[in-house]
A and B are shown apart, each in its own frame.
Chain A
Amino acid sequence: MRRLHHPLLTLAPALLLIVSILPPATQAQSPARGGTLTVGVPAELKTLDPHQSALTITYVDLSPIFQTLVDLGPSLELRPLLAASWKVGSDNLTWTFNLRHGVLFHNGRELTSRDVKFSIERILDPKTGARGRGDLSAVDSIATPDPYTVQFKLKSPFSVFPTKLTTTFQAILPVEAVNPATNELVKPIGTGPFAFVEWKTNDHLTMRRFDRYWEKGKPYLDEVVIKPIPDETVRLTALQTGDVNLILSVPQARIQDLFAHPSNDYVIRLVRGGGGQGVVILNTRRKPFDNLKIRQAVAYALNKRELTEAAFRGWGHPVNQNFAPSSPWYLKVKERAMDLAKSKQLLGEAGMPNGFKTTATVGNSSDLLAVAPVYQAELRRVGIDVALQAFDVPTWAKRIDSGDFDMENTGFFAKVDPDDGYYRYLHSNGGVWQLSGFLANPTLDRLLDDGRVESETEKRKAIYAKVVEIVQEESSMLIYGSGDTAAGWRTTVRGFAPQIIGALSYPGGGVQETWISK
Chain B
Amino acid sequence: MIRYLQARVLALLLILVLMSVVVFSFLHLTPGDPVEAMLGSEVDQETKDGLRHALGLDQPLPVQYGLWMSRALRGDLGSSIQMHQRVSALLAEKLPVTIELTAAASVVGLLIALPAGVLAAVRRNSAVDLGAMGIALAGVSIPSFWLGVMLILLFALHWRIFPSIGYVPIFRDPIGALRHLVLPAVTLGLGLAGTLTRMVRSGVLEELGHEYVRTAKAKGLRFPTVINRHVLRNALLPTLTVLGVQVSVLLGGAVITEQIFAWPGVGQLAVQAVQSRDYPVLQGSILIIAVLATVVQLVVDLAYAFMDPRIRLS
Residues of A within 8 A of B (CB): 7-8, 10-11, 44, 46-49, 52-55, 125-131, 133-134, 183-185, 200-203, 227-231, 233-234, 237-238, 240-241, 243, 391-401, 410, 424, 431-432, 434-435
Contacts and interface: CB of A to CB of B under 8 A. Distances in A.
- Indicate the member of B32, B145, B152, B160 with the most A CB atoms within 10 Å: B32
Contacts of A126: 46-47, 49-51
Given A8-B42, A395-B31, 18 more contacts: A7-B37, A8-B41, A10-B42, A54-B38, A127-B51, A129-B51, A200-B264, A201-B94, A202-B262, A227-B165, A234-B164, A234-B165, A238-B164, A393-B32, A394-B276, A396-B32, A397-B37, A432-B41
Given A126-B50, A129-B51, A399 B31 contact: yes
Contacts of B163: 241, 243
A410 B145 CA distance: 27
B170 to A, nearest CB: 14
A410 B275 CA distance: 18
Interface string B5-35: 0000000000000000000000000111101
B126 interface: no
A393 B83 CA distance: 19
Contact of A129 (B38, B83, B165, B275): B38
16 contacts: A8-B40, A46-B83, A49-B84, A54-B38, A125-B50, A134-B43, A134-B44, A201-B269, A234-B152, A241-B156, A243-B163, A243-B165, A392-B32, A394-B277, A397-B36, A434-B41
A395 B50 contact: no
A11 B40 CA distance: 9
Interface of B: 30-33, 35-51, 53-54, 82-85, 90, 93-94, 145, 148-149, 152-153, 156-157, 160, 163-167, 258-265, 268-269, 272, 275-277
A431 to B, nearest CB: 4
A397 B35 CA distance: 11
A231 B47 contact: no
A396 B36 CA distance: 10
B204 to A, nearest CB: 38
A126, A237, A410: most-surrounded residue (chain B CB, <10 A): A126
B37 A237 contact: no
A287 to B, nearest CB: 23
Given A7-B37, A202-B272, A395-B31, A231 B259 contact: yes
A375 B165 CA distance: 38
A55 B47 CA distance: 16
A435 B41 contact: yes
A243 B156 CA distance: 10
Nearest to B35: A129
A472 to B, nearest CB: 21
Contacts, number: 176
B36 A131 contact: no
Contacts of B165: 227, 229, 234, 237-238, 243
Nearest to A7: B40
A476 to B, nearest CB: 16
Contacts of B264: 200-203
A185 B84 contact: yes
A183 B51 CA distance: 11
Contacts of B49: 126
A515 to B, nearest CB: 24
A401 B36 contact: yes
B43 A394 contact: no
B164 A395 contact: no
Contact of A54 (B39, B53, B259): B39
Contacts of A234: 148-149, 152, 164-165, 260-262
A397 B53 contact: no
Given A184-B84, A231-B149, A129 B41 contact: no
B54 A431 contact: no
A52 B84 CA distance: 11
**Max chain A Cβ within 10 angstroms of own Cβ: one of B36, B93, B152:** B36
B164 A227 contact: no
A17 B177 CA distance: 39
* A129, A203, A238 pick with most chain B CB within 10 angstroms: A129
Contacts of A44: 268, 272
Contacts of A54: 38-40, 42-43
A315 to B, nearest CB: 22
Contact of A48 (B84, B259, B262): B84
B47 A129 contact: yes
Nearest to A230: B259
A53 B45 CA distance: 15
Contacts of B164: 234, 237-238, 241, 243
B198 to A, nearest CB: 30
A228 B45 CA distance: 31
A329 to B, nearest CB: 19
Contact of B276 (A8, A46, A230): A46
Contacts of B160: 241
B273 to A, nearest CB: 10
Contacts of B42: 7-8, 10-11, 54, 424, 431-432, 435
